[in-house]
């Protein structure tokens, strides 16, 4: 410990973001740090981040979390992807799965072979060649020690925070109950010195992690870091959320169903269903959004829908002086592709890799901010993709989406796929080639050209290869249990 400058870590706020940070730091660096989390039972959390992506499993592995224990504690179900209804046209339907499409080569990805087959009059749907996609469509699921299936979870965010809290406190994290009345700063440097609670208690620290949600009490209200608004690209700014009783077996996918001014979600858990409706207040009144949600849900609501206001965008710096913002305090991309929990996890991972043990070096901080910004912009572009590729013109909302000016980074990516069927994942990007391909094809992009490697195969050989792939996947899916049956055996909890 001799010479260590940064040792006391203070996390402001609980919820998913706060307790994820506490759990990870205490598990991996607990022997080097003194970690305190400050939260108030009187302050509610957003608590609707109930859908995840497969990176959650790697993070849980870092924390030594047993999957079955976690799923029982959070009443989780499995997730193989997201079904999109009515996005490009009313009546359209496609599934963005977590799986790999077919078999690719170093020279050309699988979808180029599929495009060649389609040009020759066979090949079927590209989803025929994805195991996870076919399992999701069939409502099947199974995993085990040697399973290669790629999946994530639907979870109860409130129970998840409770689960992480128990692990964190067992690893030495100190929880302080109370509301933050004031943030004390050094008069010369502006660095945060302590949190002053309404009770008068002072919580000093070296590094502060802002998990105060949209309030951004430390990073914005105190340090005035600034916020870049992305509402000109992602115009939705409100959501109603409500939980309902289950009315049928849980399916292994999230549903995202477009409506005239946004979209609504449906997330099945073991014991209930999470529902929400995302909308643009410029195109739909609050009372109309609430009424539409209540009209479309299945099952009895468990409470009155809650309205959540938000502003899509990014904090200009997520690390400013001795404060790092996590979760909603750092920025917000609407929940369409379930990235919120991932962005918390990758930010915490990045912090552990770049922890400022020796002090707050500007080069270290700049690098952290650069990596965070690049990843967030990639997520932003992927979410915009779903809106801008629409062919819908049945409402002012969708007309605006299809004609809006796009980020140059996204313009180039769409053009590359439209002209040459080329898709890519850069080293600092979250979404894989298969994800870009599934969404761009699902949103009705018809590539004008593609790689001609498949022309070197005789048509009969290509047909046989694709047929074998499809048959193998169909056979494997047929042998799987239903998702609901597997849940009951693997991790069922009492309702």
Catalytic machinery residues: 79
Measure the CA–CA gap between 480 and 282, rounded to whole angstroms.
46
Q: In what order do the strands lie in the sheet with 227-229?
A: 227-229, 313-315, 331-332
DSSP assignment of 342-395, as one string?
A: HHHHHHHHHHHHT--TT---HHHHHHHHHHHHHHHHHHHHHHHHHHHT----SS
Phi and psi torsions of 296, nearest 5°: -95, -20
Q: Find all residues with CB under 8 Å of 159, minimum gap 6, and list them.
A: 73, 74, 75
DSSP assignment of 144-190, as one string?
A: -TT-----EEE--HHHHHHHHHHHHHHTTPEEEES-EEEEEE-TTT-
Buried b or exposed e, range 314-333, using 16+ CB within 10 angstroms: bbebbbbbbbbbbbbbbbbb
The token pair that represents 167 in the structure block:
């692990």
**SS3 call for 289:** helix
H or E stretch at 417: helix 408-420
Structural contact between residues 179 and 297, judged by C-beta atoms closer than 8 angstroms? no
Measure the CA–CA gap between 444 and 274, rounded to whole angstroms.
29
Q: What is the SS3 assignment for 292-349?
A: HHHHHCCCCECCCCEEEECCCEEECCCEECCEEECHHHCEECCHHHCCHHHHHHHHHH
Measure the CA–CA gap between 8 and 293, rounded to whole angstroms.
45
Place of tokens 């069922």: 492
The DSSP code for 114 is H
Measure the CA–CA gap between 79 and 59, rounded to whole angstroms.
16
């Amino acid at each position: 410990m001799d010479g260590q400058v940064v040792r006391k870590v203070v996390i402001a706020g609980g919820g998913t973001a706060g307790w994820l940070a506490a759990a990870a730091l205490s598990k991996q660096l607990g022997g080097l740090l003194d970690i305190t989390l400050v939260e108030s039972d009187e302050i509610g959390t957003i608590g609707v981040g109930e859908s995840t992506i497969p990176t959650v499993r790697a993070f849980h592995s870092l924390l030594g979390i047993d999957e079955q224990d976690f799923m029982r504690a959070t009443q989780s179900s499995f997730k193989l992807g997201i079904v999109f209804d009515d996005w490009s046209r009313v009546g359209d339907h496609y599934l963005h799965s977590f799986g790999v499409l077919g078999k690719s080569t170093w020279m050309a990805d699988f979808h180029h072979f599929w495009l060649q087959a389609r040009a020759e009059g066979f090949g079927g749907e590209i989803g025929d060649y994805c195991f996870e996609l076919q399992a999701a469509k069939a409502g099947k699921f199974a995993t085990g020690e040697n399973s290669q299936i790629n999946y994530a979870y639907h979870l109860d965010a409130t129970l998840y925070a409770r689960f992480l809290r128990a692990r964190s406190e067992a690893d030495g994290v100190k929880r302080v109950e109370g509301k933050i009345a004031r943030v004390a700063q050094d008069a010369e440097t502006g660095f945060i010195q302590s949190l002053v609670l309404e009770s008068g208690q002072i919580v000093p620290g070296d590094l502060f992690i802002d998990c105060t949600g949209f309030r951004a009490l430390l990073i914005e209200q105190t340090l005035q870091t600034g916020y870049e608004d992305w509402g000109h690209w992602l115009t939705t700014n409100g959501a109603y959320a409500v939980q309902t009783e289950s009315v049928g077996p849980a399916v292994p996918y999230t549903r995202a169903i477009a409506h005239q001014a946004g979209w609504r979600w449906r997330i099945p858990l073991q014991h209930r269903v999470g529902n929400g409706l995302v909308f643009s207040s410029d195109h739909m009144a609050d009372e109309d959004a609430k009424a539409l949600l209540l009209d479309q849900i299945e099952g009895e609501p468990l409470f009155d829908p809650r309205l959540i206001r938000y502003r899509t965008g990014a904090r200009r710096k997520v690390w400013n002086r001795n404060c790092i913002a996590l979760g909603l305090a750092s920025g917000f991309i609407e929940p369409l592709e379930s990235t919120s929990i991932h962005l918390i996890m990758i930010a915490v991972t990045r912090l552990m890799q770049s922890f400022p043990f020796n002090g707050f070096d500007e080069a270290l901080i700049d690098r952290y901010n650069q990596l965070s910004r690049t990843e967030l912009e990639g997520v932003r572009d992927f979410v915009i993709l779903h809106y801008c590729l629409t062919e819908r013109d049945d409402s002012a909302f969708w007309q605006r989406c299809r004609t809006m000016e796009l980020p140059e980074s996204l313009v180039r990516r769409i053009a590359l796929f439209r002209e040459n069927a080329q898709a890519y994942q850069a080293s600092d990007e979250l979404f894989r080639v298969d994800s870009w391909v599934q969404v761009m094809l699902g949103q009705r992009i018809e590539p004008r050209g593609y790689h001609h490697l498949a022309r070197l195969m005789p048509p009969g050989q290509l047909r046989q290869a694709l047929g074998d792939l499809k048959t193998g996947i169909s056979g494997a899916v047929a042998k799987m249990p239903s998702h609901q049956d597997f849940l009951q055996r693997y991790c069922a909890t009492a309702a």
